[in-house]
Structure 1
Amino acid sequence: MRKVLPFIGCFVSVSGAFAQPLLPAEKPNIVIVYADDLGYGDIGVNGAQGVKTPNIDRLASAGVNFTDAHCSSATCTPSRYSLLTGSYAFRGQAAVLPGDAPLLIRPEQATLPRMLQASGYTTAVVGKWHLGLGNGKLDWNKEIKPGPREIGFDYSFLIPATGDRVPCVFVENQRVVGLDPTDSIRVNYRVKLDGYPTGTEHPELLKQAADPQHNNTIVNGLSRIGFMSGGEQALWKDEEFPFILTEKAKTFMEENQHKPFFLYLAFHDIHVPRAPNEQFVGTSSMGPRGDAIAQMDWCVGQVIEQLERLGLDEKTLVIFSSDNGPVLNDGYADQAVELLGDHQPSGPFRGGKYSILEAGTRMPTIVYWPGTVQAGTSSALLSQVDWYASLADLVGHQLQPGEAPDSQPLLQAWLGKTSAGRDVMLEEAYTYGLRQGSWKYIQARKGEAPRWIEQGKGIASGMANYPQLYNLEADTAEQNNLAESYPELVQQMQQTLEKILDERPAENPGK
């Protein structure tokens, strides 16, 4: 018997949020707190076991906790690209970058920080960057251009790529911090340099053993991807990340407390290498990964305490989320798998980082704004690519043709005012998925799925050489493929996906 085509509308609910939040006349401060590799289930309010996150849980108890909000891609660079441009990652050919890659976002491209600058905001980025720097001929010993300044950030303090990639130095306002001019930095991702020892040659120097990819230059007892020489006085200590990054964020907020500011605070935690400060070692039952979650939660608390101390908490919209799903085994032997216990990093979902399944992009997401946003839980279908257009609405900016082409203005949903989110949402992870209400379609992939995701990382990739269709309302873990039962729906969703992938939008679709 032929199956009846199911209704594919989006049924969502918001509980606790009041109906008509009143926005203040003055422009609010905006703080995006962005964790790294933090899974949906890695915070207390979403069921974490073996680690406590009281500061994040406090945000959730007083704000809106989203159960179906997503990053745009299951890896870090693409999600950050979409966040800052309002454009799907595939449009910018965004992929995970090496540490010496040129700036991925073009200086002439419209960006979220530049839009906020034009709306009267002072802007800053603090923390992990991983969007490339320079123009392809990067000299770490001079001013680095182009960089965050050229795409709209007034102030920047960066981990240039990630903690597992050289160079292991901070970059403030596009210059390496603490660099001795007589000890020039050199970086190479292809050829070994006569600089620091490597993990391959000197495993006895390592705090954590690493796989071959991460077994190059050793800095602070941890081997990294890539080779580096020089810059000894500028080298970071991983254990100092939480204090240095939060202090830079707090200083920026204090110095700009009398005018609207935008702060993009991108934590390194809980990305590898996980090297929590001794203050947090042993605070969880899960070893370094759990301790890094506790450390990250402390940093969140520091940000909120600073806002309260400055009397800015009711004048500041805070968005907390993560860049992609969780991963346990990601290159370093830190017992993340062995000490997991009953904890479920992905919550009730399947997959994780690198995966097209829901856990790859379904993120812990909280919006907190005392006095404007009331406590509640929202199941609205939302994507981080929409932050651009939604914040443009908040500050009264009219999007121009070509600006934030994939971003939809869903401010009402982000503030918990309405349960209406996206009708259709793209997911990216070495293939493409499409959400339409409770339905999830995964496009057939040509050729085999990357084996390293399942075999090396222990994560279900969700990729196959045949189409997949899941009803998430009945099958949260995406185990029962309904593609053969609903061929018309598969065809319709594939056509919708192809339209997104093929279009070259000339203007913002939400206008």
Structure 2
Amino acid sequence: MKPNVIIIYADDLGYGDLSCYGAEDIKTPNIDALAEEGVRFQQAYSTSSVCTPARYGLLTGQYPFSNNQIRILPGNAQHCLISKEQITLPKMFKAAEYNTAVIGKWHLGLGDGAVDWNGYIEHTPNDIGFDYSFIFPGTNDRVPTVFVKNHHVDNLDADDPMTVFYGAEDKCSFIDQIDTYKKDPDKLRITSTHGHSNMIVNGVGRIGYMKGGKAAIWKDEELTDTFLTQAKEFMDSSDQAPFFLYFAAHQPHVPRLANPKFVGATEMGPRGDVIAEFDYTVGEIVAYLKEKNLLEDTIIIISSDNGPVFDDGYNDHAFELAGKHKPAGPFRAGKYSKYEGGVRIPFILSWKGHTAKTISPAIVSQVDLLASFANLINVDVADVDSLNMLNAFMGKDSIGRSEVMFENNDKVVMLRQNQWVFLPRSAQVYEDIPNQRDFGNGPEDQLFNLDFDIKQQDNVAKAYPTIVNSMRQTLAEYGFLKATL
């Protein structure tokens, strides 16, 4: 019998944010239990240090930097980045007669050039392989703050149509009809540090503007329970067919507003509390599988789209309350960055009774899930970047890849070959935020030997010009140096 597959994908969760990866001030017992039963990877990579490209790589088996359109999308993104013709994880599973669903965050665009929020929405996840989809379109800090169920906004009142606008405030035709950060600060529950100062929804400043659709607007504190209910209903509906569930959680992305039962669950404030809530989510899914006698028939993967970030636009004091906690673990930097902390992510694969119980040093990439699962269930795939790493994912191969690539927010492509990681110089230079953001951009190439310098403190590019030139040539041959000087 083919196994069920569930990918539980966190948002901005760092390598060091789980207690099984060394966190001391956050306890994640449900995730830890899966790690003890399965394979916990030490050298697993996302394809990007930001979310949309990482999700593209996971679902398509293609490196996101091979497509210039793949970037962080606005909430009203009016073009699905995954074409209807592409092979995808859900299409691959459907070829083996699986039921497929996506529940949670999407952020890969909808439509084919426009989105009719009040009618039938073209080009949703249902058009790229998912039988069922229940998503919010972008991120929880962007409008529209509604669910899209298959091809329609869920619970939309036809007498209260939606309008979504992204642009300058003085160009918004309905600005006087909505609460905004500028004119209604008394309605805020949390203030913005940057970027989240347009419309107010549920007492929180968001990016973008929307009017109408009041019955369809979700509440931040209810997202987890809503997604869990949807996941259980989908698994119930699968009957005797195997299923693939892509459960895209919203934690610990901003705004971090936990259900009241998790407020104060940690001493680290909202960021710690929503990680505790994410661990609860994992526990609820595992408990359901046990109740239905499905646990031994189900592969569960826990991972994250990219590395962690403290201040990502809201004043929730994540940095100040972190204490000694290091969300990226031993690695340098986090979300948006070129360094390991941006792309070295937690990755746990548990298949009770089938996987080795081990801590694996194998180098694996999320891009490899497509080819690896295709091999497991005997489906042919071609023309993808994904490699068959099934033995590594099952804990039977401690080596994995010898080469892996990933990108940062500016689509600069980094290359790791064995112990060496090469960060090409880049034209775009951002100002670092002390103690919080370390982008890694600059006018010089960087080379690190991870066997001796896991924290990437000693740039040895000038000492090893032959290695730099070889790795630069490799990237050039792939065509991935266009974003550098």
Q: TM-score, normalised by structure 2?
A: 0.95
Post-superposition shift, 1:106? 1.0
Post-superposition shift, 1:297? 0.3
2:321 alignment partner, SS class = coil
Conservation of the 8 A alpha-carbon contact between 1:257 and 1:310: no
Match among 421, 435, 448 for residue 470 of structure 1? 448
> Is 1:397 equivalent to 2:374 in the alignment?
no
Post-superposition shift, 1:456? 8.5
Match among 263, 283, 288 for residue 270 of structure 2? 288
Conservation of the 8 A alpha-carbon contact between 2:7 and 2:300: yes
Q: Aligned residue for 1:255? A: 237
Q: Output the amino acid matched with 1:42.
A: D
Q: Aligned residue for 1:381? A: 363
Q: Output the amino acid matched with 1:260.
A: P
1:67 alignment partner, SS class = strand
> Is 1:68 equivalent to 2:43 in the alignment?
yes
2:338 alignment partner, SS class = coil
> Is 1:444 equivalent to 2:425 in the alignment?
yes
1:380 alignment partner, SS class = strand
Aligned pairs for 1:84-483 (under 5 A) are 84-93=59-68, 94-101=70-77, 102-190=79-167, 191-192=171-172, 193-194=174-175, 195-400=177-382, 402=383, 405-429=384-408, 430=410, 431-446=412-427, 448-451=428-431, 454-455=432-433, 458-483=436-461
Post-superposition shift, 1:212? 4.6
In the superposition, relative to structure 1, how do residues 345 and 502 fare at CA in structure 2: closer, same or farther (>3 Å)?
closer
Q: Output the amino acid matched with 1:188.
A: F
Post-superposition shift, 1:501? 2.7
Post-superposition shift, 1:247? 1.1
- What number of residue pairs does the alignment pair up? 472
| Whole-Å separation in 2 of the counterparts to 1:130 and 1:151 | 14
Post-superposition shift, 1:374? 2.5
1:347 alignment partner, SS class = coil
> Is 1:487 equivalent to 2:462 in the alignment?
no
Conservation of the 8 A alpha-carbon contact between 2:413 and 2:480: no
Conservation of the 8 A alpha-carbon contact between 1:40 and 1:359: yes
Post-superposition shift, 1:145? 0.8
Q: Aligned residue for 2:22? A: 47
Q: Aligned residue for 1:7? A: none
| Whole-Å separation in 1 of the counterparts to 2:20 and 2:327 | 12
| Whole-Å separation in 2 of the counterparts to 1:376 and 1:105 | 35
| Whole-Å separation in 2 of the counterparts to 1:392 and 1:346 | 31
Conservation of the 8 A alpha-carbon contact between 1:257 and 1:312: no
Conservation of the 8 A alpha-carbon contact between 1:111 and 1:152: yes
Task: Report Cα offsets for 1:69-110 as digits up to 9, x if no partner.
Answer: 011000000000011111111122210000111111111111
Conservation of the 8 A alpha-carbon contact between 1:328 and 1:457: no
Shifted more, 339-348 versus 106-115: the winner is 106-115
Conservation of the 8 A alpha-carbon contact between 1:330 and 1:457: no
Shifted more, 333-342 versus 192-201: the winner is 192-201
Unaligned ranges ≥5, structure 1: 1-25, 504-511
| Whole-Å separation in 1 of the counterparts to 2:253 and 2:434 | 17
| Whole-Å separation in 2 of the counterparts to 1:285 and 1:48 | 13
Shifted more, 249-258 versus 278-287: the winner is 249-258
Q: Aligned residue for 1:23? A: none
Identity %, equivalent residues? 47
2:34 alignment partner, SS class = helix
In the superposition, relative to structure 1, how do residues 420 and 212 fare at CA in structure 2: closer, same or farther (>3 Å)?
closer
| Whole-Å separation in 2 of the counterparts to 1:422 and 1:450 | 31
Q: Output the amino acid matched with 1:34.
A: Y
Task: Report Cα offsets for 1:279-326 as digits up to 9, x if no partner.
Answer: 000000110000000000000001111111111111111111000000
| Whole-Å separation in 2 of the counterparts to 1:501 and 1:459 | 28
Q: Output the amino acid matched with 1:444.
A: R
Post-superposition shift, 1:502? 5.5
| Whole-Å separation in 2 of the counterparts to 1:223 and 1:269 | 18
Shifted more, 273-282 versus 105-114: the winner is 105-114
In the superposition, relative to structure 1, how do residues 475 and 456 fare at CA in structure 2: closer, same or farther (>3 Å)?
closer
| Whole-Å separation in 2 of the counterparts to 1:398 and 1:70 | 24
1:211 alignment partner, SS class = coil
Shifted more, 186-195 versus 95-104: the winner is 186-195
Conservation of the 8 A alpha-carbon contact between 1:63 and 1:369: yes
Task: Report Cα offsets for 1:482-504 as digits up to 9, x if no partner.
Answer: 1111111111111112222359x
Q: TM-score, normalised by structure 1?
A: 0.91
Conservation of the 8 A alpha-carbon contact between 1:352 and 1:460: yes
